[in-house]
Amino acid sequence: MLSASLTYGQIQIGSNEIPTMNRPGKISSSSMNDFKKSTTIFTLQFKDYAKLQDYEKAIGKVWKITPFKIVKPDEMPQYMKEGYSIFSFGGYLVQRQGSSTTTSNMHLAYDLWLPDMKKNGNVKQDFLARISIFANPDAFSTAMKGLGFTNKKFSSKMTSFLYKEAELYNWNPGFLMGYLKTVNDRLTENNERGPFSEETDKTAMSKLKNDTLYIPDYVYIRYKMFSGSESVKDDQDETDIKKIYPYPFRILPAAELNQLILEEGKSIKYLTYVKSSTDKFLNIFDSKTGKLIFARYVKLSYNFKNKDLARVEKAID
């Protein structure tokens, strides 16, 4: 049985590949020193290289901790050596053996790691940070078709799928800029972050009484757990939303929101959303500073609901 669990959290700063109890894992002083002396290699989905300048500009605005370079996925092996750190897509399975069934949870993320070359030629990943990604149902069906339940097969097949085919709802230059700002600042301060951490910047959030909250329309994609399919909610009644969230808001396609985030001189506050099988993560960023100003983790719920905005409204007052 393959459970449609995407990841344990939205943004994690720490060494644990599989964190538990919100423990991100301590980054050793030697790993941190090696990282801060490295050049960070970013890889993107193949289709993203048509917008390479947008990604370079977005990353450059917030990534200050190390020099960086964007390369294509097939160029990555040449940087798996001392002096480099790497951001790449990855995936793994976590298996749980029950009395009669085995449950395997799927995890997909954009990972930051140091390559550790072994004498036998294998590369060990020394993890530093993880950004969860929210993929379409094809990710699940791909994982189920002949991959088996071994991490070796899963990682190689799913990584190829993520670079070449996957549709990632919470992925574009603007969204990435917000995620990287948190990673950059936390690593600069040697400050780990658990994946379930909740945050509220009261001063920034209070401005949403008058400022518009921008919401990507992918939040209204409805995942059907038993069939593994998705549909778009067609009754996005803004009147119902206003009953819960009385402040200004605007729902728009993620591509349009990305352009607003990247627009020079523009200052907006926007929401991103990630779901796993029974968990969801709500974050709000300020595009002017790039900072994460609100983060909430909700367990036992895998679709966005209008009432989730009540959590935002409460943080504003």
For 250-290, what is each residue's pLDDT tens digit?
Answer: 999 999 999 999 998 889 999 999 876 567 889 999 999 99
Under the banding of pLDDT at 50, 70 and 90, the label for residue 8 is very low
The secondary structure of the chain, three-state, reads: CEECCCCCCCEEECCCCCCECCECCCCCHHHHHHHHCCEEEEECCHHHHHHHHHHHHHHHHHCCCCCEEEECHHHHHHHCCCCEEEEEEEEEEEEEECCCCEEEEEEEEEEEEEEEECCCCCEEEEEEEEEECCECCHHHHHHHCCCCCCHHHHHHHHHHHHHHCCCECCCCHHHHHHHHHHHHHHHHCCCCECCCCCEECHHHHHHHHCCCEEEEHHHHEEEECCCCEEEECCCCCHHHHHHHCCCCEEEECHHHHHHHHHCCCCCCEEEEEEECCCEEEEEEEECCCCCEEEEEEEECCCCCCHHHHHHHHHHHC
Under the banding of pLDDT at 50, 70 and 90, the label for residue 16 is low
Mean per-residue pLDDT, 131-154: 70
pLDDT score at 305:
85
pLDDT of 237 over the 90 cut: no
Task: State in Å, rounded, how far the first CA of the chain is from the last one.
Answer: 44
The residue that leads in pLDDT, 232 or 41, is: 41
Rounded Cα distance between 57 and 70, Å, is: 11
Q: How far lies 81's CA from each of 72, 121, 134, 302, in Å?
A: 17, 11, 30, 39
Under the banding of pLDDT at 50, 70 and 90, the label for residue 27 is confident
Rounded Cα distance between 108 and 167, Å, is: 12
In contact, 158 and 108? CB cutoff 8 Å: yes
The residue that leads in pLDDT, 134 or 228, is: 134
Rounded Cα distance between 183 and 193, Å, is: 9
The residue that leads in pLDDT, 15 or 162, is: 162
Mean per-residue pLDDT, 148-168: 76
The residue that leads in pLDDT, 140 or 312, is: 312
Contacts 24+ apart (CB under 8 A), 262-268: 262/54, 262/57, 262/58, 262/173, 262/174, 262/177, 268/211, 268/212, 268/214
The residue that leads in pLDDT, 204 or 274, is: 204
Return mean pLDDT, the chain.
Answer: 83
